[in-house]
Amino acid sequence: MGQKDPVLEDEVRYRYNSVILHYRKSFMQDNAQRVSTLSFELEATLKLVRFLCRREHAKEVVELLMTAADGAKSLIDASDRLILFVEIARLFGTLGYQRKAAFFSRQVAQLYMQQDDSLAAISAMQVLAMTTKAYRLQSRATLTKSLASSDEITDGGKLNPQSVVTLFESQWSTLQMVVLREILLSSVRAGDPLAAWSAAARLLRSYYPLITPAGQSGLASALTNAADRLPSGTRSADPALPFIRLHSFPVHSSQVDIVKRNPGREEWWLGSAPSGPFIYTPFSKGDPADSNKQELIWIVGEPVQVVVELVNPCGFDLTVDSIYLSVHSGNFDPFPMRVSLAPNSAKVIKLSGMPTSMGPVTIPGCTVHCFGVITEHLFKEVDNLLLGAAQGLVLSDPFRCCGSPTLRNVTVPNISIVPPLPLLVSHVAGGDGGVILFEGEIRDVLISLTNAGSVPVEQAHISLSGKNQDSVISVAYETLKSALPLKPGAEVTIPVTIKAWQLSTADLDSAGGKNTTSMGRLSKDGSSPMLLIHYAGPWVQSGATDVNSSPVPPGRRLVVPLHVCVLQGLSFVKARLLSMEIPAYVSETLPCLDKKSSNLISGGKPDSLVKIDPYRGSWGLRLLELELSNPTDVVFDIRVSVQLENKMKEDQSTFVVDASDFGYPETRIDRDYSARVLIPLEHFKLPILDGSFFIKDSKSDANQGSSRSSSFSEKNTKAELNASIKNLISRIKVKWQSGRSSSGELNIKDAILSALQTSAMDILLPDPLTFGFKLAKSSIPPADIVDLPKEANILAVPPGSKGSILAHEMTPFEVFVRNNTKEMIKMKLSITCRDVAGENCIDGSKATVLWAGVLSGISMEVPPLQEIKHAFSLYFLVPGEYTLVAAAVIDDANDILRARAKTNSPDEPIFCRGPPFHVKVIGTA
Amino acid sequence: MASTACFIIVSKNDIPIYEAEVGSAAKKEEAAHQHQFILHAALDIVQDLAWTTSAMFLKAVDRFNDLVVSVYVTAGHTRLMLLHDSRNEDGIKSFFQEVHELYVKILLNPLYLPGSRITSSHFDTKVRALARKYL
């Protein structure tokens, strides 16, 4: 317009004012009925305002317009008033007084509405539509810019209270409701169903707390009526009900287990996943507040779910015809679903969909088909609403008033879709339920893996995780490896051998309280081991043209929990070490010394472990007695087996003799009973008493006397000894069987260990000297003895008494002394013979046995690892049972012998006593 | 006492934070809406007028039909607006000053978020008592 001339302006103003004054003067009350000068005055005023209508004259313009508005009262014709108000509204609008303009526009609309005419109603509707900006009621269709600006405010997550307030600027709810209602009325009357729908929707959504339930139902029917007149599939920019907020992104297990593959590393699975029970460590990088930065990976072709919460705060039943996730990126196929919501109720639903192609995905909200119209509900709007409600700026929080718990603000994570990956699905053959095993039970579990994806599995690796990992005895890695590549749809079955672990005492205590009811519970406490199967497809995507540009598709991890429910099985009560001295009978053969169990095998005769053959010489037998009780309601059969290591030089094949093959009977333990099982320990003696067992550095200590020998030997050999004990224990197997299918092994390591701890040395280490008696060849031909028992009793020898000796005969004997050490032993051997009463019957006045040869103080030198024979003869005067015992006093004992004998003083003589041998003498006295 | 009066406090963000119909006239819902529309429209004028004077009390700034809008602008640009039909200017001024004091007390409450709705019933009672006294 250019610069105004103030002089000219004043002149114009002056003229107008004088004209207005003239009109006003000529207004006469009696004349008013005929012709009123008012309209002329108003016209002049408006013209003056139009001339002055600029910001610098705002005050004057406002004054003039208010005068003009006052004049409206005096106008008789409603249409005149309408024109006047239109003009005033327009002028206020020109001045920039939007609210004033809106006010007069609404007056115009009311005047239009007073006319009973659909055209007038359309005008009213259009005029009201212009007021929406001032009243901040715009439909979302016209509101794109302001939304964009509000984005910037809300993005920060946490808002400054002041900026929260600005979000809810002009909450003139009364005005807004009135205007919306007028828009609704006018649009209904004007026959614009979409506008009516939109107005009703906004009214219902924004002001439901101020509307009575009857009014809410009225609005609902208005929505339905409007929708009836709309073509189906109509979209509206303004959402109605329900309120929808994001609840959570449930992470599917397969999504958790996506593992990035590093093309540079062959074994990409190592360290890729937390293998311990702590998935979340406090030392992980980044603070938890960064959780909105989390990322989700979705996979093409694998359905995903998003949980949203719907709420209907109104007093009528709401039926959502379909609701689905609205995704604009076009690479996601949402699945619609139908929901109905009772009055004042909330519902959490899972919306699912299928990613269709690679790329990022954003989920701004949901698309809802409700009240016959399709609308989009944005999560952000509800978030803002809730934010305002939290600050007391909004009328009501729809979620809280429906009793839904407060949620923290859920942010949409960054979601990206990756190309299809193989997907292994596992199931346990014979049912996915937990396997119920007794403690120590061994069972094969078949796990079948199926590739449910569309890409072959080309790499796979199995590892163990979780608790009780050592209960998995074997996993058939090779079966899986050989099945690769696993084509889509293909299946492979992997046998896994599980040995049920021991229940801890805490478990037992809790189980003991309520014995029967808690059986199922024991498996739920996460004590089962897990198989972690890392697998991946090919390194290069089949469709990818450029190898370098496309990232390596990630691998995946499948967690197969081996659901094992361990029941308390046989329980161990106590272990005791028993030692027995069972005298052997003297026969023509030397009793087999335990260290060289040659005849045990080469003899071909099954050697039972416990059944004692008196002629074999099972002296110094040590047994481990285990007391077991059976608290279960099934029967257990126990078998003890000892694996014997036979390093026989002649026989190159290593023997592993299972003692159970030797006819050792099974011990059956009935339910609620206890039983004892004996484990023989005699075959564990080492062949040589070696210094290495006691000391490594014996030489340095040798001159300092043997007082310290025992202490240092204990220290130094602790580890070695423990290793031997462990070796010993590992060879003892207590197996049980219950019913047809259950069998297992009893874990008695700790029990044995504690029982053996004190006397392990005695069991493991041989005596320095072993003694044996034997009849000299000349007495009775051995063949006769062996064959006799079955035939007629020619020699009056009772059956089974082979090697018996007749009284009144000179019987030659031989005594053998074997040196088990690596050094020459000098000693004095003496032999005694006692009768059943234990009286020495060689010496003394009442000697009943005569002898020939030397029986006491025989000086001998036994070379290392050799045996020495000494012959003598006895003449028994009285038949009966006699006992022969050989003993020796070792001269110049070295440290090893002392340590073995557990003596401290260097002067104390070391005394070795052999086991007693029985001699049965028959005949008449 | 005036036959019709509507008192409203508008925060600086143009949000009504307190509303009260203090007139003795029979309450009609339609009229109440009309009052709010008039007061809302008057904000445009107040917006310009407030910067032309140093006085807080702006006297009658707007009118529609027989109703007059008187406005008092605080230093924080919170507007106390009274819609009335009487011409008792001194009473209105005293009323505004007293209400301003009450409003300052509300602002001093650390639990009150400036710019949010005033929900104190104590404030409401006091305002209505003041209206009876001065209008």
pLDDT digits (tens, 9 = 90+) for A178-200: 888 888 888 888 778 888 888 88
Read off the pLDDT of residues A407-433 as tens digits, 9 standing for 90 and up: 666 666 777 777 777 777 777 776 656
Inter-chain residue contact A161 with B37, CB threshold 8 Å: no
Q: What is the mean pLDDT of residues B43-50?
A: 82
Do A195 and A107 fall within a single domain?
yes
Q: Band the pLDDT of A695: cuts 50, 70, 90.
A: very low
How far is Cα A466 from Cα A783, in angstroms, rounded to an integer? 65
User: What phi-psi label fits residue A891: left (phi over 0), alpha (psi between -120 and 50 degrees) or beta?
Assistant: beta
Q: What is the mean pLDDT of residues A51-57?
A: 79
Do A370 and A486 fall within a single domain?
no
In a mutational test of the A interface, the residue from B9, B15, B106 whose CB has the highest number of chain A CBs within 10 Å is B15
Read off the pLDDT of residues A321-346 as tens digits, 9 standing for 90 and up: 888 888 877 778 888 888 888 888 88
Q: Measured between alpha carbons, how far apart are the two ends of chain A, in Å? A: 161
β-bridge pairing A459-466 and A529-536: antiparallel
Final residue belonging to a domain, choices A740, A764, A788? A764
Spell out which residues of chain B touch residue A392, defining contact as CB-CB under 8 Å.
113, 116-117, 119
Read off the pLDDT of residues A528-572 as tens digits, 9 standing for 90 and up: 777 777 777 776 655 544 444 456 677 777 777 777 777 777 777
Q: What pLDDT shows up at residue A333?
A: 81
Contacts with A323 (C-beta within 8 Å, 6 or more apart), sequence order: A244, A310, A336, A337, A338, A339, A349, A351, A366, A367, A368, A369, A370
Spell out which residues of chain A touch residue B37, defining contact as CB-CB under 8 Å.
103, 106, 175, 178
Inter-chain residue contact A392 with B117, CB threshold 8 Å: yes
Q: Where in the sequence is the domain holding B43, given as residue range(s)?
A: 5-134
Q: What is the mean pLDDT of residues B3-16?
A: 79
Q: Smallest Cβ distance to B62: which of A66, A102, A175?
A: A66
Read off the pLDDT of residues B91-126 as tens digits, 9 standing for 90 and up: 888 888 888 998 998 888 888 877 777 888 888 888
Do A444 and A339 fall within a single domain?
no
Contacts with A220 (C-beta within 8 Å, 6 or more apart), sequence order: A204, A314, A316, A371
Per-residue DSSP letter, A95: H
User: Are A209 and A398 within 8 A, CB to CB?
Assistant: no
Q: Smallest Cβ distance to A172: which of B16, B42, B117?
A: B16
Measured in whole angstroms, the distance separating CA A838 from the mean position of its chain's CA atoms is 70
What does the H/E/C string look like for A10-79?
A: HHHHHHHHHHHHHHHHHCCCCCCCCCCCHHHHHHHHHHHHHHHCCHHHHHHHHHHHHHHHHHHCCCCCHH
Query: What single-letter amino acid sits at A558?
Result: L
User: Are A258 and A515 within 8 A, CB to CB?
Assistant: no
Inter-chain residue contact A166 with B13, CB threshold 8 Å: yes
Position A885 in a domain: yes
CATH code of the domain covering residue A915: 2.60.40.10
ipTM score over 0.85, yes or no: no
More confident residue, A482 or A435: A482
Q: Count H helices and E strands in chain A, helices first.
A: 24, 41
Measured in angstroms, the CA of B54 and the nearest CA of chain A are apart by 16
Task: Name the residue of chain B whose CA is nearest to A74's CA.
Answer: B65
Contacts with B55 (C-beta within 8 Å, 6 or more apart), sequence order: none
Q: Band the pLDDT of A68: cuts 50, 70, 90.
A: confident
Q: Band the pLDDT of A595: cuts 50, 70, 90.
A: very low
User: Are A815 and A772 within 8 A, CB to CB?
Assistant: yes
The two three-digit tokens of residue A198, written as one number: 């939109």
Do A412 and A428 fall within a single domain?
no
How far is Cα A448 from Cα A463, in angstroms, rounded to an integer? 16
Q: Is residue A235's pLDDT more than 60?
A: yes
Query: Does any CB of chain B come closer than 8 Å to the CB of residue A847?
Result: no
Query: Does any CB of chain B come closer than 8 Å to the CB of residue A169?
Result: yes
Inter-chain residue contact A103 with B37, CB threshold 8 Å: yes
Element of type H or E holding A836:
none
Give Cα separations from A505 to A427, A502, A511, A629, A879 (angstroms).
32, 9, 10, 16, 60
The two three-digit tokens of residue A548, written as one number: 């370098």
Q: What pLDDT shows up at residue A151?
A: 39
Query: Does any CB of chain B come closer than 8 Å to the CB of residue A395?
Result: no
How far is Cα B61 from Cα A112, in angstroms, rounded to an integer? 29
Q: What is the mean pLDDT of residues B20-34?
A: 69
The two three-digit tokens of residue A322, written as one number: 């379909």
Inter-chain residue contact A97 with B11, CB threshold 8 Å: no
CB interface of A with B, residues 116-135, below 8 Å: 135
Measured in angstroms, the CA of A101 and the nearest CA of chain B are apart by 8
Q: Is residue A10's pLDDT more than 50?
A: yes
Contacts with A63 (C-beta within 8 Å, 6 or more apart), sequence order: none
Q: Which of A771, A793, A806, A780 is nearest to A877 (CA)?
A: A806
Q: What pLDDT shows up at residue A778?
A: 53
Question: Residue written as tokens 């493991």?
Answer: A764
CATH code of the domain covering residue B87: 3.30.450.70
Global pTM value = 0.57
Do A408 and A462 fall within a single domain?
no
Do A755 and A780 fall within a single domain?
no
Q: Is residue A617's pLDDT more than 60?
A: no
Task: Name the residue of chain A whose CA is nearest to B38's CA.
Answer: A103
Q: Which of A561, A498, A575, A560 is nearest to A527 (CA)?
A: A561
Give Cα separations from A89 to A58, A85, A385, B68 (angstroms).
14, 6, 33, 19
Return the top range by mean pLDDT from A222-236, A563-577, A751-765, A785-799: A222-236
Give Cα separations from B30 to A82, A131, A174 (angstroms).
20, 19, 11
How far is Cα B30 from Cα B37, in angstroms, rounded to an integer? 11
Q: Looking at A422-574, list the stretches that DSSP marks H as alpha helix, in order from N- to C-terminal side.
A: 477-483, 505-513
Inter-chain residue contact B116 with A165, CB threshold 8 Å: yes
Query: Does any CB of chain B come closer than 8 Å to the CB of residue A102?
Result: yes
Q: Is residue A158's pLDDT more than 70?
A: no
CB interface of B with A, residues 12-51, below 8 Å: 13-16, 32-33, 36-38, 40-45, 48-49
Do A648 and A665 fall within a single domain?
yes
β-bridge pairing A332-334 and A345-355: antiparallel
Position A598 in a domain: no
Per-residue DSSP letter, A80: H
Do A348 and A209 fall within a single domain?
no
More confident residue, B7 or A32: B7
Q: What pLDDT shows up at residue A682?
A: 60
Largest separation between any pair of C-alpha atoms in chain B: 41
Q: CA geometry: angle at A383 spanning A369 and A349, to 5°?
A: 45
Query: What single-letter amino acid sits at A640?
Result: V
Measured in angstroms, the CA of A238 and the nearest CA of chain B are apart by 23
Give Cα separations from A423 to A254, A490, A540 (angstroms).
8, 11, 17
In a mutational test of the B interface, the residue from A108, A177, A178, A211 whose CB has the highest number of chain B CBs within 10 Å is A178
Q: Is residue A655's pLDDT more than 50?
A: no
Q: What pLDDT shows up at residue A255?
A: 55
Q: Measured between alpha carbons, how far apart are the two ends of chain B, in Å? A: 5
Query: Does any CB of chain B come closer than 8 Å to the CB of residue A298?
Result: no
- Work out how many CB contacts closer than 8 A connect A with B: 78
Q: In what order do the strands lie in the sheet with A555-561?
A: A258-259, A555-561, A529-536, A459-466
Residue A485: asked if its preceding bond is cis (omega within 30°), the reply is yes
Read off the pLDDT of residues A248-265 as tens digits, 9 standing for 90 and up: 777 665 555 666 666 666
User: Are A408 and A390 within 8 A, CB to CB?
Assistant: no
For B21, half-sphere exposure in the C-beta direction (CA atoms, 13 angstrom radius) is 15
Q: Smallest Cβ distance to B36: which of A70, A96, A172?
A: A172
Query: Does any CB of chain A come closer than 8 Å to the CB of residue B59?
Result: no
Q: Band the pLDDT of A287: cuts 50, 70, 90.
A: very low
How far is Cα A569 from Cα A571, in angstroms, rounded to an integer? 6
Query: What single-letter amino acid sits at A788?
Result: L
How far is Cα B124 from Cα B135, in angstroms, rounded to an integer? 16
User: Are A278 and A397 within 8 A, CB to CB?
Assistant: no
Inter-chain residue contact B16 with A171, CB threshold 8 Å: yes
- Average pLDDT for chain B: 81
Q: Band the pLDDT of A511: cuts 50, 70, 90.
A: very low
| A860-893 CB burial, b ≥16 within 10 A, e <16 | eebeeeebbebebbbebeebbebbbbbbbebeeb
More confident residue, A143 or A805: A805
Query: What single-letter amino acid sits at A765?
Result: L
Q: Where in the sequence is the domain holding A449, given as residue range(s)?
A: 424-567
Give the number of domains in chain B.
1
How far is Cα A448 from Cα A133, in angstroms, rounded to an integer? 65
User: Are A222 and A371 within 8 A, CB to CB?
Assistant: no
Q: Smallest Cβ distance to B13: which of A58, A103, A165?
A: A165
Contacts with A643 (C-beta within 8 Å, 6 or more apart), sequence order: A656, A657, A658, A731, A733
Q: Smallest Cβ distance to A391: which of B11, B43, B113?
A: B113
Contacts with A163 (C-beta within 8 Å, 6 or more apart), sequence order: A153
Q: Give the number of other Cβ atoms within 10 Å of residue A309's Cβ.
A: 22
Q: Band the pLDDT of A644: cuts 50, 70, 90.
A: low
Spell out which residues of chain B touch residue A174, defining contact as CB-CB under 8 Å.
32-33, 36
> Dihedral, CA atoms, A236, A242, A245, A251, nearest 10 degrees?
-100
Contacts with A155 (C-beta within 8 Å, 6 or more apart), sequence order: none
Q: Band the pLDDT of A651: cuts 50, 70, 90.
A: very low
Question: Residue written as tokens 């198989």?
Answer: A531
Q: What pLDDT shows up at residue A391?
A: 65
Q: In what order do the strands lie in the sheet with A414-418?
A: A295-299, A414-418, A359-361
Spell out which residues of chain A touch residue B13, defining contact as CB-CB under 8 Å.
165-166, 169-170
Read off the pLDDT of residues A388-414 as tens digits, 9 standing for 90 and up: 776 666 666 777 766 666 666 666 677
Query: Does any CB of chain A come closer than 8 Å to the CB of residue B62?
Result: yes
Do A202 and A325 fall within a single domain?
no
Q: What pLDDT shows up at residue A428?
A: 75
Q: Is residue A833's pLDDT more than 80?
A: yes
β-bridge pairing A805-806 and A917-922: parallel
Position A599 in a domain: no
Spell out which residues of chain B touch residue A172, defining contact as CB-CB under 8 Å.
15-16, 36, 40
Position A497 in a domain: yes
In a mutational test of the A interface, the residue from B9, B12, B13 whose CB has the highest number of chain A CBs within 10 Å is B13
Measured in angstroms, the CA of A175 and the nearest CA of chain B are apart by 7
User: Are A194 and A226 within 8 A, CB to CB?
Assistant: yes
How far is Cα A333 from Cα B89, in angstroms, rounded to an integer? 68
Inter-chain residue contact B33 with A175, CB threshold 8 Å: yes
Contacts with B43 (C-beta within 8 Å, 6 or more apart), sequence order: A99, B10, B14, B79
Do A122 and A60 fall within a single domain?
yes
Query: Does any CB of chain B come closer than 8 Å to the CB of residue A175?
Result: yes
Contacts with B37 (C-beta within 8 Å, 6 or more apart), sequence order: A103, A106, A175, A178
Phi, psi of A208 (to 5 degrees): -55, -30
Query: Does any CB of chain A come closer than 8 Å to the CB of residue B110?
Result: no
Q: Is residue A801's pLDDT more than 50?
A: no
Q: What pLDDT shows up at residue A699?
A: 39
Do A546 and A626 fall within a single domain?
no
CATH code of the domain covering residue A327: 2.60.40
Position A579 in a domain: no
Task: Name the residue of chain A whose CA is nearest to B68's CA.
Answer: A66
Q: What pLDDT shows up at residue A804?
A: 65
Give the number of domains in chain A.
5
Do A113 and A199 fall within a single domain?
yes
Inter-chain residue contact A178 with B33, CB threshold 8 Å: yes
Position A573 in a domain: no
